[in-house]
Amino acid sequence: AWYFLSYQIVAVGALYLLPGSVSGWSDEDKSNYSFEKWRYNVTHPIWDNDAWYVNWVLHPYWGGAYYIRARERGFDRTDSFWFSTVMSLLWEYGAEALAEPVSFTDIIVTPVLGSLLGEYVFAPWRARIRAKPGELDWSDKAVLALTDPLGVINAQIDTLFGVKSTVQVAPMGMRAPLQRREPAFAGVPPASGKPSGWAVQIRVDW
């Protein structure tokens, strides 16, 4: 998430340099940054009229990229969908809201279509490539990079700063503690030790 917040600054800079026909930001939007404008934009969301390829290609693509990033970290389908949703909300209510109102369209399209794209297109595609024997060719590596761009960028930054990190997420059964038995009940079989509940164990190594 910290990496993503940093990427927002870079993305806003890129959008600032793009023509208004692509970014949807007018010259007034680009020159008028203030907390008051941000507060207005986040409290007055709209259904936007961005170009079709922005709403129906770029946003689902990034939603799929968020989804794959979560799947690569060990999250299941549901959690990966919510991760994509949170990343979309961080963008809509974060840096982008400095220039334009929050978009209902983007909030819905990015995680919903993005998760479908990630689960049924990106994930199987990546699995087929990884199942190939031998060295991967440049096109396979390009597909792996394009379907998980955030993972590639994160890895490069980790390498640059000498950071090695892993995250593991796994379900864990919670067992009730066995009751201490008095000597008079020594012949009674101990409790079965079956899980009394479930939790999620998260391990982060640096």
pLDDT in tens, 2-60: 676 667 667 666 666 666 656 565 666 656 667 888 899 999 999 988 889 999 999 99
Residue in the structure block whose two tokens are 């917040």:
5
Asked if 5 and 90 touch (Cβ cutoff 8 Å), the reply is yes
pLDDT of 170: 54
Prediction pTM value:
0.69
Mean pLDDT of 81-107: 90
pLDDT of 136: 92
Asked if 65 and 150 touch (Cβ cutoff 8 Å), the reply is yes
In the chain, count of helices (H) and strands (E)? 11, 2
Q: How would residue 76 be classed by pLDDT, with cut points 50, 70 and 90?
A: very high
Q: What average pLDDT does the structure give for the chain?
A: 79
Q: Going along 17-61, which residue ranges are E strands?
A: none
State the DSSP H helix or E strand holding residue 201, giving kind and residue range, or none if neither.
strand 195-205
Angle between the N-to-C axes of helices 138-147 and 59-72, in degrees from 0 to 180, rounded to the nearest 10: 100
pLDDT of 82: 97
Q: How would residue 196 be classed by pLDDT, with cut points 50, 70 and 90?
A: low
pLDDT of 2: 64
Of residues 27 and 149, the one with the higher pLDDT is 149
